[in-house]
A and B are shown apart, each in its own frame.
Chain A
C-alpha cells in the first residue's frame, strides 16, 4: 500500500537519524553564555562526547525546571544556597565529589562549605558578587551605596532596571536596611517590601535577560548586574559601565557544578567536571567568563588581575546568600509577588 511504504520509509529515516545520535551525549544546563564555547568544542574533540548547551538567567528558573521533572540534564550550575535546597529536595545525584580528580584542583576555600559539607554533591565552579552597574553617560556615580539604587534621584525615573527574580535583590535590600538575610520577621520583610515598592516607579523593566545591551545601549542608566559581566562589557565592548560597590555590602554567590537526579549520562558529566577543572582549561574559562574561578588557575596566563579588574576584586564586604527556611522563603515570595503585581 502506498501509505505503508512511505510510512516505512519515514520510520527508517527517523530511526537512522536517531541511532546516529546514539553517540555519547552530555546535556548541560547552565547560566547563559557562561561556558567558553571554544572549550566546549575542544572538549567535544578530545572526548568525542556530543554536548548540548541550554541557558538560564536565574536560579529560580533552574529549580523550577528540575522540580517539574522536566530535566534530562546531566550537568547544571546552581548557586550555593540553591545547592543546599536541591540536596534537601532530593533533586541531585550523589557523585561523591570528593573522590573526583577535580576535587584536588579546587581552591581549598570552597571545600566543606555549609551548602555541601560532605562534599558529595557539588564542585565549585565560579564565584562573584551581585550589585548594580551604571552607565556613566547617564549617571555619574559614585556607586558607593545601595541608596543610589533603591532610593534614586528624581532624574533616574524610568531609567533603572532590576533582576526579575528576588534572589539577589531582596538580600541587597536587606543589606541596605541592616536586616539579616533570610529574616523570618514579618515586620522586617514589610520594610523590605516598602523599600522596593517605593523604587518601582523608577524601574523601567524587571529583567535578567539582555542586560548588556540594555545598559550599555543606554536604554537604562542603572541595572542589576554581576561583577564579571560588567567587567567583560567594559573590557570587550568598551561600554561606559561601572560596577558599583556599595559600602553596605555586596551580595555574594558561588555557582557549583552538580548532577541532577534524572541524568542519564552521569559518567560524561563527571568527565566534563574533571576536564574543566584542569588548570589550563580552568584558566581559559576564567579568561572568557570573567568571574573568579572555583578551581586553581594559572596566575601567569590569567587575563583578569587585581590591577585591571576592580570589579572582581571587591574592596567592600561580601555576604553570601543563604538557603532560607520555608517560612523565610514564603516571606520572600510574598514580597516579590506583591511587588510585581
Chain B
C-alpha cells in the first residue's frame, strides 16, 4: 500500500499504478459497509429463516428440530380434538395491518399534498419557517408523540374532560384501544415522512408548465391532475413507501393505542419473542412480513420503470 502511494507521488504516475490504487481504495471504502450489513443484517435474516423452520422451545428460544409447524400455525391450529382446523385469527391480524398501513399512507397523502403545495407557494422565509415547524415534532421521540394521544384519548383523558367541560357528553365509551385510535396515532407519527419527499418534488416542478397549461385554457383542476400530480410522482411514491413499509411493522401504536385486543403484525411478532415464547412462530411471521414488503417494493420498482414523461402526456 505504501509503495503504491509513494509511486503515485512521482511526477507522472503510470496509469496502471493509479488504476490499482483506485481498485484497492474502492474495496477498502466499501468493505466496512458491506461487512456491517452482512454481519448484522444478512446473517440475522438467514437465522430468522432458519429459526422459522425449527421448533420452539416451550420456555423460550428454539430447538434444532426441523418442523414447518410454525408456518402451519399461521393458517391452522389444532383444536381440542387434535384435528387441524382453519384459523382465521392471524390472517385477520395480517389483513388489519395491511389495511391500516394502506389507509395511513393514503390519508397522509391526502393531507400532505395540499400542505406541501401550500408551503411551496410561500415566500422563502415563510417556507423555511413552515418546514422547520413540520420537522420539529419529528425530532421528539416517537414514544412521546404516541403517548400524547394516549393522554388525549384515554378514559377521563383530555378529550373526554374537555367535552364534558363544554357539556357536550357525559360519559364516552373508550376512544382508545381500537382500530381508529391506532390509525390516528399512525398518521400522526408518520406524516412528516410523506410531506418532505412530496415537497421536494413540488419544488422541482417547472412553474412554466403550469402557466403554459393555463395559457392553453386548462382549468386549475385539470392542471393539477394532468400536469402537477404526474410530475410529482417520484416524491409521492417515495413518501408512500416511507410511510407504508414502517407502518406494516409498527409496534408502538398497537401496543399503546390498540390495547392487547387489537393486534397488528409488528407487535404480534414481538409478543412471540417475549411473553408468548414462541420464537419459531415469531420467525415465520417475520418471514411473512418480509415477503409482503419485498413484493410491494418489487411491484413498485416494476411500475416506475416507465418514464414519467409518458405518463403526463396521457
Contact = CB atoms under 8 A, between A and B. Distances in A.
Touching in the complex, A and B, CB below 8 A?
Answer: yes
Interface of A: 58, 60-61, 63-68, 85, 89, 164-165, 186-187, 189-190, 193, 204-207, 217, 219, 326, 329-330, 333-334, 337-338, 340-341
Nearest to A67: B60
A341 B274 contact: no
Contacts of A193: 80
Contacts of A165: 275
Given A217-B155, A338-B77, A341-B89, 5 more contacts: A67-B277, A68-B60, A165-B275, A193-B80, A333-B276
Contacts of A189: 80
A129 to B, nearest CB: 22
A66 B273 CA distance: 11
B80 A186 contact: yes
16 contacts: A64-B60, A64-B273, A64-B275, A66-B60, A68-B61, A165-B275, A187-B80, A204-B174, A205-B177, A205-B259, A205-B261, A206-B260, A207-B259, A219-B155, A334-B78, A341-B90
A337 B276 contact: yes
Given A67-B61, A205-B261, A329-B58, A341 B275 contact: no
Q: Helix, strand, loop or mixed for chain A's interface?
A: helix
Top 5 A-B pairs, shortest CB-CB distance: A67-B60, A341-B89, A190-B80, A60-B275, A64-B274
B58 A341 contact: no
Contacts of A164: 260, 275
Interface string B59-98: 1110000000000000001101010000101100000000
B211 interface: no
Contacts of B57: 67
Given A205-B259, A217-B156, A63 B59 contact: yes
A57 to B, nearest CB: 10
B60 A330 contact: no
Nearest to A66: B60
A333 B58 contact: yes
A61 B60 contact: no
Given A64-B273, A205-B260, A207-B260, A326 B58 contact: yes
A165 B58 CA distance: 15
Nearest to B79: A338
A338 B278 CA distance: 14
A23 B7 CA distance: 52
Nearest to B88: A341
Nearest to B77: A338
B273 A341 contact: no
Nearest to A204: B174
B274 A85 contact: no
A179 to B, nearest CB: 14
A261 to B, nearest CB: 13
Nearest to A338: B77
A217 B174 CA distance: 14
Nearest to B154: A219
Nearest to A217: B156
